[in-house]
Structure 1
Amino acid sequence: MIRYKILTTIAIFLCSVSVYAQMPVLKVNGANDNKETVKLKKLDIDVQITGNIATTVMTMTFYNSSDRILEGELTFPMPEGVSVSRYALDINGKMREAVPVEKAKATEVFESIERRRVDPGLLEKVEGNNFRTRIYPLPAKGSRTVIIGYEEELNFGNADALRYHLPLAYSQPIEDFSLKTTVFESVLKPELSEQPDGSFIFKATGNTYVAEIHKTNYQPKNGLNIDLPKKSSLPEVQMQKASTGYYFLVNVFPKVQSMPRKWSNKMGLIWDSSLSGLQRDVKKELALLDLIIQQKQNLTIQLGLLNNGFKIAGTFEIKNGNWEILKQKLNGITYDGGTNFSALTSRDFSADEYLFFSDGLSTFGKNTVALTKPIHCINSSLKADYSTLKYISLKTGGQFINLNAISTADAFKRLSKINLQFLGIKNGPDVRQTYPSMHVNINGQFSLAGILNGLNTDFILQFGYGNTVVTEQPIRLNATEHTLTSIDISRVWAQKKIAEMDIQYETNKDDISVLSKQFGLVTRNTSLIVLENLDDYLRYDIAPPAELRSAYDIALKQRGKEMMERKANLLSAAFAKTTELKTWWNTDFSLVKPKIKKGGYPTPVVEEIMSTPVADAQADMVSAPPPPPVSRNDKSIQENRLELSGANSDRKMLAESVVIGNAQRAQKRSSVSQFKEDNQPRIVTAEFKSDKDYMKNLVGKTDSAYQAYLKIRPNYITTPMFYFDVANWFYQQKDSVKALTILSNIADLDLENTDLFKTLAYKLKQTGNYKAEIFITQKILQWRPMDAQSYRDYALALADDGLYQKALDNLYKVLTQSYNAQIANRDQGIEEIIISEINNLIAQHGKKLNTSGIDKKLILVFPVDVRVVLNWNKNDTDIDLWVTDPNGEKCFYSNPKTQIGGRISNDFTSGYGPEQFMVKKAIKGSYKIEVNYFGDSQFTISGPTTVTAEIYTRYGTGKEQRKVIVLPLYADNKKGNLVGEFSF
């Protein structure tokens, strides 16, 4: 099953309250270039508003007009503080509700079931407050229906009204469109400041107002804006019965005025100039900055630009509100690179207070800012990490402003005053778990959720400045007086609690997981999943929705755990592999007589390094003999491999080694050799260059080439390999600063994309950017803890940066983690690579390491003359490592052991690899390294499959040398790709 992804834009739905959001993007796996392959055929939207809570439920039916089964992936932003609470997918013609599961487990289960071509559905939260749903299959000439639902609190859109907003900017007519909005218990009639068309009007039945339309082949002209006037200052109370006591939500409208803010004379302006800055509303941001400057008139502003690094961009003296020079500077900013908040420190950038314009997404470094003075964080991007921005503001005593939710004028009003704050509650012994529980700013309206232990109670809300109370609001809760609402107040309460805990996510992540699973909310570490049948819920130990729960409980009682996926670690296999390696290492292969082909003679040994130019090296390589037959279950795979193996590629390839030639070896960062230079084995690698058309624009000096890159970038702005290729060119020109900025853009292209981040990690390793490599591999481990390779990549990044103990501990985790049967089968043989790397660390740094936690049966000394290890960035991919020795014998998947003692590890036909070649005692001569791209079952936004090859000599001796090569492979070239050669 080979599926190809392209980017297909369909204006589908969303977003919500007070947020003028863009429509999400649907990526369809398997679609062709026709953007109408998958259409939104039917859309039903139901909105219910009670008090300040709105519940929105959208039922969407997608139609696949192609003759192929497709897979859909929909990513969309949600407004601040809002989480998806309902997800359902049609299974066998009936809607099935999703259930909450730990995020990593949900991903693991989804991918496992998807391979069986059945019908899983997954909805997950990715970086920031962005959500993604994956649907498979979208049947040929068929439909799938999805339900998405969420609750949210409404905030004031103007002085006296709450506002609900729903964008309806669909790019194409919808065959069957319906929209219904119900406002319950409203004393005043709701007002429509924007509506789809003139027929959408509210009609009253008592205090309930209903508006609805039903259209065919309809494309709305406008979005939906509902203003809900709140003239009364009386508290609004909603209650919901619980197993013990009641959940409650109180909405109040404090009238006390805030105090004016006195802006500092010395201000720091932090401007996020990363690639994602192109998605911000800079015009709105500059308008807000202008209002601040015009109020202050005279001040000093120091400008700092933040992307993958940080630099001071000038100090500007503002006189009489004239800031034209600064404005020109901001309008001329080049947005380029990833984002690294941790690059920002007060060492070179001190001020009395700061304005920080950013989306809060730190994609290339930790999201912490080492500043202590007040930071006012301003966001205007639709894809944002609200929690990070809130935390930075809260920690430093600043304010957070979301320009998506309010106008520039209202944002200025909030910033130009010290807001009235909620300080806490008094005399409330019968209420508990009230949120917010910390000081928060009040802007005319405030809501508190909590749990009432009994039937009724009284307490007091306190408001003021700092720790000084200036006004109080008495609240009475009485289950017999207040009408119990049909709104799910418990989920609103849970959402408020999670939003507060999420500000310090790492501290609270376990509690967030428990809460989100109980209330069915999608969070950073909890997803919603739909499975096809009862056996799948049993197999993966996932409690099903209500319709299957009874049968599940009965089956679970009868079968116990026998249906669940088996979990096992790799230790027993590692013990066996260690014994095998010991036997191999102790074998004297020099006693084995070489077999000479009938009618042939031994190949002459080349003892000196090749003098042939690198570009022509392939033509002089020794051709390997045809491989012997392979043993595969799939006959077609056998035939294709036999046809493809042994062939060499004459295509220009894309890669670069850390060290190229002897002259550069001393200048580059690599393992220090204690051998004399003349005694070191010599490694030659090609200086790979891209043959893409856009590379023709990169000529001359790097400054002019950078301007050429910026000029052509709009045509390739979402193409990862564009940044990879261009960055590679700048590295070759020795401009590592521009190269790293361009390369780091890859981190900003897509949210939580493992394929992209693996490619980025490989290149960071190759170029010696080890701290960034640690950050990127740690992110991958966070997203995919179910993969052994995630721990390995992170461990090797730690070792690159000299953190050897942490590296050793994480390598050992690869062997002690539990894996499901599918993943364990996929990664069978990885223990050989891990054993080699554990023992290499011990050989080099044993005196500094605590090895008490490592099973002694795994520790052995086996240095080797040659080691080559290969891994790649995509799952479900078959890559092969070939090494041809001076005798002309090729070591590869069907000839894993050679006569001179070369051995290759298990052949990984799916997953991420790795594959490893070793020889204990290298004979004299030239060794050729090739990579064969057999194929994959996916082609995603992340571009071609990228491999990294590490070539070691004197491995495990403490005197090794290493070269790292990163090579993108394309599906149209399934022959041997030359990586390089080394000679002894």
Structure 2
Amino acid sequence: MRGEAMGWRATISLAIGLWLLPAPAMAQTNPSLSEAERGIRTDDGEDVAKHLRIDEVLVSAHVTGRTADVTLELLLSADPQEDENFEARLALALPADAVVTGYALSVGDAMIPGQLLEQPKARNLYEDEVRAGIDPGLAEVSGNRFTTRIYPIDRAHPRRFRVTFAAPFDPMRGIVLPLSREGTIGKVSLTVTVDGFAAAPSVRFAGETVTLAKQGAQWRGNAGGDRKRLQGGLEIAGGTLAAPMLVTRHASGESFFAISDTAPAGAARPTGGRLRIYWDRSLSHRDDRRDLEAEVLARLADTTTPDAIDLITFASDRPQWTMHPDAAALRKMLDGVTYRGATSFAGLDALSLPPARRCVLVSDGLVTIDRGAEFAADCPLALLTASPKADGARLGRIARGPLVRVSDGKVAEAVAALAQPTAGVTAIRDSAGRRIAFRTLPAGAGAWQIVGPMPDRGGVRVRLSDGSERSYAAGATVSADAPGALWAAQQVQILGDDPARHQAMVAFARRYQVAGPAMSLLVLERPDQYLRAGIAPPPGFDAEWMGQYRESKQDADEAALDDKRERFEQVLERWAERKDWWKRRFVASARPKPRPEPMAVPAPMAMAPSPPPVSEPAPAHSPSDEDRAVMVTGTRAQVASESAGLAADDVSEAIVTAARLRDVPVARAERATVDTAVKVDLADLIAKRPYILALNAAAPAQRLTVLAEQERAFGSVPSFYFDVAEWFRRKGDTATGESLLLSALELPQADDETRQIVAFRLERDKAHDRAIELAEHIAAANAEFRPQPARDLALALAARGRSRGAAGRADLERAFALLTDAALNPASDDFDGFEVIALMNANALVPDIEAVGGRWTLDPRLVALLDTDVRIVIEWVADDADIDLWVNEPNGERVFYGDQLSSAGGQISNDMTDGYGPEEYAIRRAPQGAYEVRINGYDADRINPNGAGHVLIRLTRNFGRRSEEETLVDVDLAFQQGRDRDEEARTKPIATLRVGR
């Protein structure tokens, strides 16, 4: 294989929503091709390939009824005059509602197919291969856009890749794959096969009409040639179906139906009554062709002459309802809508509205929050969208009428489709009367189209929205994936909405081979890569390597049990060390120990060297337990005095030495404290970017106007919404702040990093349900390869549980289980130290669980409530980034990775150099004075060196006590370069905590 000869291996990940080419490039050419530095993300805006070209475009299409399976195979090559290797970045716009069903890349002479696994895991594996120096390729899907990055390509070794997708016919345009590039391409070809048509559809390719010939029950045609221009792409439309129902055999071996039919003839077009419009005002609707949608609605009102028009606008806040007499008033209202917040259908069901004759929902369906919310309109509901990225699978679940897509020049057709009597399917049953799950696809005026699993025996009975029924009998079966893939994509989405069904979703997606927002296709070459990925190699994998894989898999399975036992012993040892630290007596030195010199860094991207050994101070008597308190400069907080009974040391010692788990009398330890103030001043933590300066200069009455102006200029990235959300929150406008925060979820760049930051802030603001929803999805998708999301979810559950009193028992119990499971399960060495931090949180939950009559289970050797005056924990959202927590104590000592234990007993946990964290500072008895908290961006992820790090910080005083209080803050952090990365001036100050009266 070429990979062996050249010393590189290929890793290809089809991941969802991780990287996109700029929108203008997609509008000009399709596919677009550009170049980038290998494996390293850049923001230079380069979107033109100077040294790469597309030499071949081979297209094949299999049309089955009003659906099609389409395969594109492209050959990429390098300039023969160049000696260098290049990385290709290619983006391709797909038809609306297309579902990617396959991806393959050439490795030597073979095309290696992709295997499905969770998107975050695919991304993690891909990036690990990049960092290891193995040259990969990456492919992605977001909405209707497919992108791929492939390396290496040189003049002697072109690369070929293949992508397959299923798509339904657009009722107004058919199948349209817009292919367009300047200049000629070495070879362009099309092969078309059509099943289920009495009269063939029309086909055009690269600007030419393709003639189809009848061959048995099929129609077939070919087109193309050498040195062709790729203008006009592929268009398949029209034709006459041989029968309303076509049965197809999916690659899984299962059969599916595709039914396209019309409403009963002669039904009168209803007029008058009430027209109700549900209008999406979330951020994602901002950039859609709202002018087309508004024109359709105005013409619909003119055509149907309703007695009144209800307009319900909705996003992630409360729905707003207004009434309008005519189309002109409706247009004026729509012109003034502000688009902000996340897409959410929550609250629509709870509205008390007058009966309506006709309802239209206008939305892209890209729900980003409240995914479990139910919405079922109490009137015949049609769907309208002008967005090419609209989620047809979700919209099809809501519709009780047609799903209409409008584009330039198609307004009249859209109005006609909406004005016709509702032609929707309400139920499908088999011959025995059992319900069949189905998916509604877009259809023309007075028509409907559905796909679903075909019963083993007999036909199907369809009930329409007018109450009538129709029966359809099975005919000959055609081999095709599209109907089954389109149906399965919707079922995957339904399962994906519930994180508790995550594994069922993964299994379902693999069963029908459909990629979606949660699933990716990963191509690997070597046995060890498949083993690390936890997936089996595909059929046709090299026989010798398959033998190596099976042997290694058996060894790995046997080693897993040993790993779990070893992990438990490691946790016991580290927890014993933490308990020893807690019991020790420390006395702060009058003078600090000399600080280590900044470490020399030979190259800007070099990893930090291992910290030097830490010499622990000899045990000494503690200072007297006079009244003391912990303060983070600011808000007032009442602190309980020491409770009666055992002293703090006695209580905790009883926990440590308890013989039987259920007999352990766990209680919150209390030390003598006095009234104090607690505050974190966030003024310096908001970046002074231009839009913040503009808001600072605005008069209160002009803030929203200025915000809109700045949003037009800067509102394309999540950081803008994070910053302005915090600005409005601090000004007391929490509603605007929350709407801006949730807007970040709507951007094309939004990913797990975005969701983690939003969830953290929602927890801070006590929006517990939404914080937990986001944390649930992140934890479910990342569970296999990193433990941090489980801890984040546990902390959000704990916060909600504590806020609910007795009703929070289930949350508290689950939070405890998540923390202890994450601490005890084998994890990568990258995250050593995580287990102690998780156990600190778990033990602090025990008193809360027992207070509400709950139950918990943990080995007695791991039970100890280790309360502290101060506890600070940071984590970050980037993989492979090295971020450090620093605390400067009152006597001048700095506690950080280079000096992990102070003379006063302040301790920093294990240095996390490979991403995510957490890192923890804790001190049991804090001497009086100021504690300065700083963070240091020591080293960026080498494949993403240009981005800022984002750090989530929990500042806790009186941790593990009844008087515990926690402050949550998050900040952007620049990564430092060169030899001075350890200089204090290059770190970021976070807060000052003061201990004293």
- Shorter-chain TM-score above 0.5: yes
Give the distance between the partners of 1:492 and 1:323, measured in 2 at CA.
39
- Give the structure 2 partner of residue 530 of structure 1: 523
CA deviation after TM superposition for structure 1 residue 859, in Å: 2.0
Structure 2 CA distance for partners of 1:308 and 1:595, relative to 1, 3 Å: same
Deviations 1:305-357 (A, max 9, x none): 222313426322x2xxx331221110222222322322445346665464321
- Give the structure 1 partner of residue 513 of structure 2: 520
CA deviation after TM superposition for structure 1 residue 961, in Å: 2.7
Give the distance between the partners of 2:149 and 2:579, measured in 1 at CA.
48
RMSD value, Cα: 4.5
Say whether the 8 Å CA contact 1:884–1:929 is kept in structure 2. Answer: yes
CA deviation after TM superposition for structure 1 residue 74, in Å: 5.5
Give the distance between the partners of 1:661 and 1:49, measured in 2 at CA.
68
CA deviation after TM superposition for structure 1 residue 775, in Å: 2.9
Q: Report which stretch shifted further, 881-890 or 52-61.
A: 52-61
Structure 2 CA distance for partners of 1:428 and 1:818, relative to 1, 3 Å: farther
Give the distance between the partners of 2:905 and 2:351, measured in 1 at CA.
56
- Give the structure 2 partner of residue 847 of structure 1: 851
Aligned to 2:480, which of 467, 485, 489? 489
Aligned to 2:384, which of 378, 383, 387? 378
Is residue 2:538 matched to residue 1:545?
Answer: yes
For residue 561 of structure 1, give the secondary structure of its aligned residue in structure 2.
helix
Say whether the 8 Å CA contact 2:277–2:359 is kept in structure 1. Answer: yes
- Give the structure 2 partner of residue 877 of structure 1: 881
CA deviation after TM superposition for structure 1 residue 795, in Å: 1.7
Say whether the 8 Å CA contact 1:72–1:134 is kept in structure 2. Answer: yes
CA deviation after TM superposition for structure 1 residue 842, in Å: 2.4
Give the distance between the partners of 1:419 and 1:968, measured in 2 at CA.
52
State the one-letter code of the partner of 2:705: Q
Structure 2 CA distance for partners of 1:686 and 1:727, relative to 1, 3 Å: closer
CA deviation after TM superposition for structure 1 residue 119, in Å: 4.8
Give the distance between the partners of 1:370 and 1:451, measured in 2 at CA.
28
* Structure 1 gap ranges (5+): 15-19, 478-483, 598-623, 643-658, 667-671
* Number of residue pairs the alignment of both structures matches: 892
Say whether the 8 Å CA contact 1:88–1:148 is kept in structure 2. Answer: yes
Give the distance between the partners of 2:73 and 2:439, measured in 1 at CA.
35
Q: Report which stretch shifted further, 253-262 or 61-70.
A: 61-70
- Give the structure 2 partner of residue 796 of structure 1: 795
State the one-letter code of the partner of 1:713: E
Structure 2 CA distance for partners of 1:43 and 1:33, relative to 1, 3 Å: same
For residue 930 of structure 1, give the secondary structure of its aligned residue in structure 2.
strand
For residue 100 of structure 1, give the secondary structure of its aligned residue in structure 2.
strand
State the one-letter code of the partner of 2:923: V
Within a 5 Å distance, the mapping from 1:749-828 to structure 2 comes to 749-750=747-748, 753-786=751-784, 787-801=786-800, 802=803, 803=808, 805-817=810-822, 824-828=828-832
Give the distance between the partners of 2:937 and 2:403, measured in 1 at CA.
49
- Give the structure 2 partner of residue 648 of structure 1: none
- Give the structure 2 partner of residue 272 of structure 1: 280
Aligned to 2:68, which of 32, 54, 58? 54
Structure 2 CA distance for partners of 1:847 and 1:856, relative to 1, 3 Å: farther
Give the distance between the partners of 2:294 and 2:605, measured in 1 at CA.
64
CA deviation after TM superposition for structure 1 residue 828, in Å: 1.1
Give the distance between the partners of 1:501 and 1:258, measured in 2 at CA.
38
Say whether the 8 Å CA contact 2:53–2:78 is kept in structure 1. Answer: no
Give the distance between the partners of 1:264 and 1:153, measured in 2 at CA.
34
State the one-letter code of the partner of 1:79: A
CA deviation after TM superposition for structure 1 residue 977, in Å: 1.3
Is residue 2:374 matched to residue 1:365?
Answer: no
Deviations 1:398-456 (A, max 9, x none): 55434469944444444331326486567689xx9977499999955757665686xxx
State the one-letter code of the partner of 2:722: F
- Give the structure 1 partner of residue 58 of structure 2: 45
- Give the structure 1 partner of residue 296 of structure 2: 288
Within a 5 Å distance, the mapping from 1:663-682 to structure 2 comes to 679-680=675-676
Give the distance between the partners of 1:40 and 1:73, measured in 2 at CA.
10
CA deviation after TM superposition for structure 1 residue 272, in Å: 1.2
- Give the structure 2 partner of residue 893 of structure 1: 897
- Give the structure 2 partner of residue 499 of structure 1: 490
Is residue 2:322 matched to residue 1:314?
Answer: yes
- Give the structure 1 partner of residue 733 of structure 2: 735
Deviations 1:864-891 (A, max 9, x none): 1111111111111100001111111111
Structure 2 CA distance for partners of 1:234 and 1:846, relative to 1, 3 Å: closer
Give the distance between the partners of 2:441 and 2:93, measured in 1 at CA.
30
Structure 2 CA distance for partners of 1:133 and 1:543, relative to 1, 3 Å: farther
Say whether the 8 Å CA contact 1:341–1:365 is kept in structure 2. Answer: yes
- Give the structure 2 partner of residue 693 of structure 1: 690
- Give the structure 2 partner of residue 85 of structure 1: 101
Give the distance between the partners of 2:516 and 2:267, measured in 1 at CA.
36
Give the distance between the partners of 2:439 and 2:23, measured in 1 at CA.
41
Say whether the 8 Å CA contact 2:725–2:741 is kept in structure 1. Answer: yes
For residue 548 of structure 1, give the secondary structure of its aligned residue in structure 2.
coil
For residue 182 of structure 1, give the secondary structure of its aligned residue in structure 2.
strand
Say whether the 8 Å CA contact 2:382–2:403 is kept in structure 1. Answer: yes
Give the distance between the partners of 2:153 and 2:482, measured in 1 at CA.
34
Give the distance between the partners of 1:583 and 1:673, measured in 2 at CA.
17
Say whether the 8 Å CA contact 1:494–1:515 is kept in structure 2. Answer: no
CA deviation after TM superposition for structure 1 residue 819, in Å: 10
Within a 5 Å distance, the mapping from 1:116-515 to structure 2 comes to 116-119=132-135, 135=149, 137-138=151-152, 144-154=159-169, 156-157=171-172, 163-170=174-181, 172-173=182-183, 175-176=185-186, 178-184=188-194, 188=199, 190-192=201-203, 196-197=206-207, 199-202=208-211, 204=213, 208-214=219-225, 216=227, 218=229, 220=231, 222-230=232-240, 234=243, 247=255, 253=261, 256-257=264-265, 259-260=267-268, 262=270, 265-312=273-320, 314-316=322-324, 318=325, 322-347=326-351, 352=356, 354-366=359-371, 368-369=373-374, 373-374=378-379, 375-393=381-399, 397=400, 399-403=402-406, 407-415=410-418, 416-419=420-423, 421=425, 424=428, 436=438, 444=447, 459=458, 462-463=461-462, 465-466=464-465, 468-469=467-468, 471-477=470-476, 488-489=479-480, 492-493=483-484, 495-499=486-490, 502-503=493-494, 513-515=506-508
Give the distance between the partners of 1:958 and 1:143, measured in 2 at CA.
66
Structure 2 CA distance for partners of 1:752 and 1:700, relative to 1, 3 Å: closer
* Structure 2 gap ranges (5+): 1-17, 613-630, 639-667
TM-score (norm 2): 0.78
Say whether the 8 Å CA contact 1:804–1:841 is kept in structure 2. Answer: no
State the one-letter code of the partner of 1:401: V
For residue 388 of structure 1, give the secondary structure of its aligned residue in structure 2.
helix
CA deviation after TM superposition for structure 1 residue 140, in Å: 7.5
Say whether the 8 Å CA contact 2:166–2:485 is kept in structure 1. Answer: no
- Give the structure 1 partner of residue 989 of structure 2: 978
Give the distance between the partners of 1:964 and 1:200, measured in 2 at CA.
63
Structure 2 CA distance for partners of 1:897 and 1:851, relative to 1, 3 Å: farther
Give the distance between the partners of 2:536 and 2:775, measured in 1 at CA.
32
CA deviation after TM superposition for structure 1 residue 146, in Å: 2.2
Deviations 1:788-845 (A, max 9, x none): 1111112222233335642552453244259998x61111111111111112222455
Give the distance between the partners of 1:850 and 1:213, measured in 2 at CA.
71
Structure 2 CA distance for partners of 1:239 and 1:920, relative to 1, 3 Å: closer
CA deviation after TM superposition for structure 1 residue 673, in Å: 14
Give the distance between the partners of 1:257 and 1:589, measured in 2 at CA.
89
Say whether the 8 Å CA contact 1:99–1:545 is kept in structure 2. Answer: yes
Say whether the 8 Å CA contact 1:89–1:145 is kept in structure 2. Answer: yes
Give the distance between the partners of 1:476 and 1:6, measured in 2 at CA.
44
State the one-letter code of the partner of 1:300: A
